[in-house]
């Protein structure tokens, strides 16, 4: 092996990572891993490209405040031992929010980090941890290029009417606008459609990224036209613990009439809402689908209803519909949710093929049907990050590979 890229997706209590070999004609996945349980009982697990376990170690608890730094250092030490003959070209990081300033991946420096830190209030569940991962990597390997890849960037080409709120123009210019998220996932799906369904790839597509975090995106000519998420990751579909679409008057009521503080409202909307709130049981769709509890059925009904409502709205944005794609955890793994969404969308001409749906696709509508086709396409945000990272390095420092052995 010669050149490799490291992709890092840092969360509050875990750091997921992937290693890609840089070759022709495309990037090759070498392994995926995770340091889970940061702050409690860290566990380091790595699997190769065929999902065979390479390492599964339990660590002593990491010191408070040093979790990400120590985890990144441990990942680096393992990489040096396993890939001693490789050149680590750089590290690509998933960053949820790029704000109005970044419409493409960028090489991280102090100024970029300062700008991204100012966006923490817009993505409080994710942004601080992404930046902690970047800071830890910069401390551990100050010689190594770090590239920030944004979930908002793919949506930056929206027409202004799709992005602005009905507020004074000054607010829009200050950055109070609809950004959209899950862009790395949608960009990957747009690329995959070119190979899997070329007959519709440049047409009018709605992609449903359904997971614990969920959103939908309207694509035309492979570009994002609109998305269900807005200024923050709270808008649009109901999610595992997030509320989804909400009348802003509810927030005013909670503060003025219920006496809740802004912090309490934030906790409610980000952590104590969504499927968990409706079901009174769980934020995990797998648990809800297996449950006979009335609350579980109500939560599932609401989830499917909102998907159908947004599907109709996005089809209207596109002026028609050529295809629907299901992706992410629920979208890829739940034939029940896919079936219910497609059956509710029969008015759009979608004709579900139950056997194909139960088999997981990739096409789950009847062949030869005259209406829109429906597909199941696994997403790969890590590969998209690696592609963006390589492109940035090609423009800057790829000619100076850094040995993975260097400290």
The pLDDT tens digits of the residues spanning 287-328 come to 999 999 999 999 999 999 999 999 999 999 999 999 999 999
pLDDT at 71: 82
Q: Does domain 198-376 have CATH number 3.40.50.10490?
A: no
The pLDDT tens digits of the residues spanning 86-120 come to 888 999 999 999 988 899 999 999 999 999 999 88
Domain ranges of the chain: 3-150+382-403, 198-376
In the chain, the percentage of residues whose pLDDT exceeds 90 is 70
The pLDDT tens digits of the residues spanning 340-380 come to 999 999 999 999 999 999 999 899 999 887 899 999 999 99
Rounded mean pLDDT of 212-232?
A: 96
Question: Which pLDDT band, with edges at 50, 70 and 90, does 265 fall under?
Answer: very high
Question: Which pLDDT band, with edges at 50, 70 and 90, does 397 fall under?
Answer: low
The pTM score is 0.91
The pLDDT tens digits of the residues spanning 338-348 come to 999 999 999 99
Q: What string of H, E and C letters represents the secondary structure of the chain? A: CCEEEEEEEECCCCEEEEEEECCCCCCEEEEEEEEECCCCCCEEEEEECCCCEEEEEECCCCCCCCHHHHHHHHHHHHHHHHCCCCEEEEEEEEECCCCCCCCCCEECCHHHHHHHHCCHHHCCCCHHHHHHHHHHHHHHCCCCCEEEEECCHHHCCCCHHHHCCCCCHHHHHCCCCCCCCCHHHHHHHHHHHHHHCCCCCCCEEEEEECCCCCEEEEEECCEEEEECCCCCCCCCCCCCCCCCCCCHHHHHHHHHCCCCCHHHHHHHHHHCCHHHHHHCCCCCHHHHHHCCCHHHHHHHHHHHHHHHHHHHHHHHHHCCCCEEEEEHHHHHHCHHHHHHHHHHCHHHCCCECHHHHHCCCCECECCCCCCCEEEECCCCHHHHHHHHHHHHHHHCCCCCCEECCCC
CATH homologous superfamily for the domain 3-150+382-403: ATPase, nucleotide binding domain (3.30.420.40)
Catalytic residue numbers read: 151
**Model confidence at 217: pLDDT above 50:** yes
Q: Is it true that 3-150+382-403 and 198-376 share their CATH fold? A: yes
pLDDT at 28: 92
Question: Which pLDDT band, with edges at 50, 70 and 90, does 400 fall under?
Answer: very low
């Amino acid at each position: 092996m010669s050149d490799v890229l490291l992709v890092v997706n840092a969360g509050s209590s875990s750091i997921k990572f992937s290693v890609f070999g840089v070759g022709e004609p495309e990037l090759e996945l070498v392994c995926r891993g995770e340091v889970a349980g940061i702050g409690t009982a860290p566990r380091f697990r790595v699997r190769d490209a065929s999902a065979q376990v390479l390492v599964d170690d339990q660590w002593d608890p990491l010191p408070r405040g040093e979790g990400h730094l120590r985890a990144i250092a441990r990942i680096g030490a393992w990489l040096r031992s396993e890939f001693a003959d490789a050149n680590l070209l750089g590290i690509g990081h998933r960053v949820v929010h790029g704000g109005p300033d970044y419409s493409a991946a960028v090489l991280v420096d102090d100024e970029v980090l300062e700008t991204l830190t100012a966006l923490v209030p817009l993505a409080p569940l994710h942004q601080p941890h992404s930046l902690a991962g970047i800071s830890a990597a910069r401390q551990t390997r100050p010689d190594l290029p770090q590239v920030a890849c944004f979930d908002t960037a793919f949506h930056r080409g929206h027409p202004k009417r799709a992005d602005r709120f009905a507020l004074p123009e000054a607010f829009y210019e200050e950055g109070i606008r609809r950004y959209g998220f899950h862009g790395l996932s949608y960009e990957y799906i747009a690329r995959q459609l070119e190979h899997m369904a070329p007959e519709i790839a440049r047409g009018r597509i709605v992609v449903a990224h359904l997971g614990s975090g969920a959103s939908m995106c309207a694509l035309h000519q492979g570009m994002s036209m609109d998305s269900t998420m807005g200024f923050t990751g709270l808008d649009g579909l109901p999610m595992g613990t997030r509320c989804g679409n909400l009348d802003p008057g509810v927030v005013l009521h909670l503060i003025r009439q219920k006496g809740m503080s802004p912090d309490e409202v934030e906790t409610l909307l980000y952590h104590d809402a969504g499927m968990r709130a409706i079901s009174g049981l769980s934020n995990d769709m797998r648990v809800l689908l297996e449950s006979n509890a009335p609350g579980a059925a109500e939560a599932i009904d609401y989830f499917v209803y909102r998907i159908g409502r947004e599907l109709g709205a996005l089809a209207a944005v596109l002026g028609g519909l050529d295809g629907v794609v299901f992706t992410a955890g629920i979208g890829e793994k739940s034939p029940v949710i896919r079936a219910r969404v497609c059956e509710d969308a029969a008015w759009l001409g979608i004709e579900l093929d139950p056997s194909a749906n139960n088999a997981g696709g990739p096409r789950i509508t009847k062949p030869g049907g005259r209406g829109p086709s429906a597909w199941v396409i696994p997403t790969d945000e890590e590969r998209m990050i690696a592609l963006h990272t390589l492109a940035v390095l090609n423009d800057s420092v790829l000619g100076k590979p850094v040995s993975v052995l260097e400290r």
